[in-house]
Amino acid sequence: MRRTIIAANWKMNMLSKEVVDFFAEFGNTALNSEREVIIAPAYPYIKMSAELAAGKNITIAAQDVYPKAEGAFTGMVGGKMLADLGVKAVIIGHSERRRIFGEPNDLIREKVKFVQENGLHLIFCVGETLPERESGVMFDVLKEQIYSAFDDNLTLPPEKITIAYEPVWAIGTGVTATPEQAAEMHTFIRKILKGRYDYADSRILYGGSVKPENIQGLMANEDIDGALVGGASLKASSFMKLVNF
């Protein structure tokens, strides 16, 4: 049985006092949960978060990584640094990396390879824009994103490969895909993982304005294994409700 994941992506939010306060309020919730809890702080607060999360059933993730162990790459954070900070998982391919920072598929593929080589849990994001959905090409978009990253490029076991379906039109907008829309896309992704890669046991998360008010409807689908949460993960009280849905 696939274990549910509730993951927090804090993006460029939270200062040190807020991080301390969050873990002070939230820590026991994670400790007492049967679900896998993942938190991805901003780079400056990874070490602090790892120390505060120690022994509390919380995996610390990075929001991105540069696909080199170390070297002359100004402004980047590489694999050795993340390992030194206690990172166990990495988010790759988030729509904000693709859209705002212009990351192409070949760089994302390189990052996917690098994360696997370092034995980290890979959380790989896919999703379509509103124009792509309205024009009916959303399935083709997801195929391209998945095939370009994973074809001849999967080495981790299925339990360490997680897909996060995040419709770009729902991220930070307050608009959530209906349970039916989410179910359709998750079922489509599951068929690809099973048929093309024999990775049917990999978990698939939904992300896109997930809130305590809508998580029950989303999680009712058998192909949705959890959530990648943005804004609703910044308050411990809200994130506690999501973990305990």
User: Higher pLDDT residue, 94 or 130?
Assistant: 94
Predicted TM-score of the model (pTM): 0.96
Q: What percent of the chain has pLDDT over 70?
A: 100
Mean per-residue pLDDT over the chain, rounded = 95
Give a three-class secondary structure readout of 42-62: CHHHHHHHHHHHCCCCEEEEE
Six-digit token string for 243: 């973990």
Q: Domain of 18: which CATH number?
A: 3.20.20.70
pLDDT value at residue 177:
81
Average pLDDT score over residue span 27-41: 91
Provide the residue range defining the domain that includes 146: 5-243
Tell me: pLDDT of 173 over 80.
no
Q: What share of the chain is helix, strand, coil (3-state, %, to 5)?
A: 45, 15, 40
Category of 214 on φ-ψ map: left (φ > 0), alpha (ψ -120 to 50) or beta: alpha
- Choice among 66-70, 104-108, 168-172, 233-237 with the minimum mean pLDDT: 168-172
Tell me: pLDDT of 208 over 90.
no
Which positions are annotated as active-site residues? 94, 166
pLDDT value at residue 165:
97
pLDDT value at residue 32:
83
| Gap between the Cα atoms of 245 and 243, Å rounded | 6
Q: What percent of the chain has pLDDT over 90?
A: 89
Query: How many Cβ atoms sit within 10 Å of the Cβ of residue 75?
Result: 5
Six-digit token string for 40: 């991805």
pLDDT value at residue 175:
74
Q: What is the pLDDT of residues 82-99, one digit of tens each?
A: 999 999 999 999 999 999
Structural domains of the chain, count: 1
Average pLDDT score over residue span 208-216: 92
- What is the b/e burial string over 178-211, where b = at least 16 CB atoms within 10 angstroms of the residue's CB? ebeebbbbbebbbebbeeebebeebbbbbbbbbe
CB-count exposure of residue 114 (10 Å: 0-12, 13-18, 19+)? buried
